[in-house]
Amino acid sequence: MIAVTPFPQAAPLKVAVLVALFRRPDAGGHVKCWERFATAAAAFPDPIDLTVHFLGDAEGCEDLAANVRLKTWRPRFCTARLPFLGPTPGDTDLAPSHPALTRDLGSADVIHTTDAFFSFTGSARRAAAARGRPLVTSVHTDTPGYARALAVRETERLLARLPQARPLIRRLALPDRLYDVLARRLARHQAEAVFTLVSSADQRRQAEAAVAPDLVRPLERGIDFATFSPAARDRAFLEQAYGAPRDRFLIAYVGRLDCCKNVSLLVQAFDHDGLAAMNAHLLFAGDGPERAALARHFGPRASLPGALPQIDAARVLASADLFVFPSQLETFANVVRECLASGTGALVSNRGGGAGDVDAGVTGRYLPPDDPAAWRDAARAAAADPDRTAAWGTAAAAVARRRFPSWADVLARDLIPVWQEAAAGGAGIIRRAA
């Protein structure tokens, strides 16, 4: 256990949040989550001193306010240098720690990690141990699950070249072994932290196997209601910019295009002729290794503009007639909430981070992520009854405004109190966890 010195808070609490992913315009939800928390903190009426650290192509610092800044650090050993890994959900730094970051963390009162595996977390442990500062951690990515999915993908690729190796590979069960190793490492890191923040019941159960239940706290996600709103609807823009015809039933997906998002299910569920019979068009907003295959499969019945800026992603969500999200590896699928806030009904996997946000039969439907026929039939029914589908969207916008918090709400409710308690409680918290 890291020995923690209680912090007498007489000045603004200095918090360092560590996100070991690249801050880029096409970054995924983990990066965007902390960008939005930082933006909320910059306008917060009772300021804290917040620094959010990311990986970057160059080192730099962007000041959002006098008390909030975003820093980027070049990786020491980037996963991009390992081509045998194949396409991954996002490059990170595999070095044991990042010395420059470790030094920078010396002024922090609370250090908040958002993974358990990479160089930033190694730096967090070293800085916390050296100064007796508390660690807080939160779960944003199902890293063991993603690693297993990528291992399955690469195993299948190997078997396609070496089918004679199939019995040996199956006997070794490498994807499951990798999952177990990473799950144990995650549990050890959570046991080091004074608090673990989780977003789902499954994450809570996993964390409570490693730490005392009162040290596991919720961390929701917020919505930028000014951006994600029915007012962003603009079918003319989508037609002009992305070739999505205004006279067709528009089915949208927003997210990374890879195996971890289960986009292959949409390939199995829909084909050119089926979409033509529905008078439907698909729009995939995102990038990833499956993008080229999706373009080949759907041809002119799909638009694939790549990763979009937030304002254009909001236009896609608000303009779609139906949103589809088959992913089953999400810790918190914030895009589902953004879709509902945009006034669009959704078909969502019944396993994964979007489960619970859709009111079945009112704002959309839940479907099994391994049943392409169910997704095809549900989309056909939605296209055949546009009045009901539009009613889903109307209800979704109202439910989102009533039920989902803003980023400032989550910051005030879920983050700042935990950081303050961690700083003030110190060693007493550690002893309860032991």
pLDDT digits (tens, 9 = 90+) for 409-420: 999 999 999 999
pLDDT at 335 over 90: yes
Same domain membership, residue 389 and residue 252: yes
The band of 3, judged by pLDDT with boundaries at 50, 70 and 90, is: very low
Residue 183 lies in a domain: yes
The band of 434, judged by pLDDT with boundaries at 50, 70 and 90, is: very low
Q: What tokens does 209 get?
A: 């196997």
165 versus 144: the higher-pLDDT residue is 144
Residue with tokens 């503009």, as numbered in its chain: 305
CB atoms within 10 A of CB 236: 10
Same domain membership, residue 107 and residue 175: yes
Same domain membership, residue 244 and residue 105: no
- The whole-number average pLDDT for the span 363-385 is 96
What confidence score (pLDDT) does residue 46 get? 84
pLDDT at 35 over 60: yes
Same domain membership, residue 368 and residue 309: yes
CA dist 99 and 60 (Å) reads 16
- The whole-number average pLDDT for the span 239-250 is 97
Same domain membership, residue 207 and residue 89: yes
Report the side by side order of strands in the sheet with 135-138: 60-65, 68-73, 49-55, 14-22, 110-113, 135-138, 195-198, 216-218
**Rg over CA atoms, the chain:** 22
The band of 173, judged by pLDDT with boundaries at 50, 70 and 90, is: confident
* Mean pLDDT taken over the chain: 89
What confidence score (pLDDT) does residue 2 get? 44
Query: CA 29 → CA 180, 332, 334, distances in Å?
Result: 25, 9, 7
Same domain membership, residue 120 and residue 91: yes
pLDDT at 126 over 50: yes
Same domain membership, residue 294 and residue 148: no
Amino acid at 422: A
Residue 218 lies in a domain: yes
- The whole-number average pLDDT for the span 426-431 is 45
The band of 140, judged by pLDDT with boundaries at 50, 70 and 90, is: confident
Strand residue runs (E) in 106-208: 110-113, 135-138, 195-198
Residue 40 lies in a domain: yes
- The whole-number average pLDDT for the span 317-329 is 94
Same domain membership, residue 309 and residue 172: no
* Best-predicted range by mean pLDDT (87-96, 157-166, 337-346): 337-346
Buried b (16+ CB within 10 A) or exposed e, 37-74: bbbbbbebeeebbbbbbbbbeeeeeeebeebbbbbbbe
CATH number, domain containing residue 42: 3.40.50.2000
What confidence score (pLDDT) does residue 13 get? 96
The band of 4, judged by pLDDT with boundaries at 50, 70 and 90, is: very low
The band of 348, judged by pLDDT with boundaries at 50, 70 and 90, is: very high
Alpha carbons within 13 angstroms on the beta-carbon side of residue 357 total: 36
- Residue 371's domain spans which residues? 230-403
Same domain membership, residue 271 and residue 369: yes
CA dist 31 and 19 (Å) reads 7
Residue 1 lies in a domain: no
Phi, psi of 34 (to 5 degrees): -75, -25
Are 48 and 15 within 8 A, CB to CB?
yes
The band of 87, judged by pLDDT with boundaries at 50, 70 and 90, is: low
DSSP H helical ranges for 227-329: 235-242, 264-269, 272-278, 291-298, 310-319
Buried b (16+ CB within 10 A) or exposed e, 145-164: bbbbbbbebbbeeeeeeeee
The band of 202, judged by pLDDT with boundaries at 50, 70 and 90, is: confident
Please report, to the nearest 10 degrees, the dihedral formed by the alpha carbons of residues 326, 331, 332, 333 taken in order: -20
What confidence score (pLDDT) does residue 164 get? 66
The band of 158, judged by pLDDT with boundaries at 50, 70 and 90, is: low
Residue 311 lies in a domain: yes
SS3 58: coil
Q: Name the domain count of the chain.
A: 2
Strand residue runs (E) in 302-351: 302-306, 322-325, 346-349
- The whole-number average pLDDT for the span 21-31 is 87
Same domain membership, residue 323 and residue 416: no
CA dist 367 and 182 (Å) reads 29
Same domain membership, residue 214 and residue 85: yes
Residue 95 lies in a domain: yes
Classify residue 136 as left (phi > 0), alpha (psi -120 to 50) or beta.
beta
What confidence score (pLDDT) does residue 432 get? 42
pLDDT at 228 over 50: yes
Residue 243 lies in a domain: yes
What percent of the chain clears pLDDT 90, i.e. is strictly above it? 69
pLDDT at 1 over 60: no
Length of the chain: 434
In which element (H, E) is residue 377 found? helix 372-384
Same domain membership, residue 289 and residue 242: yes
pLDDT at 431 over 50: no
Residue 100 lies in a domain: yes
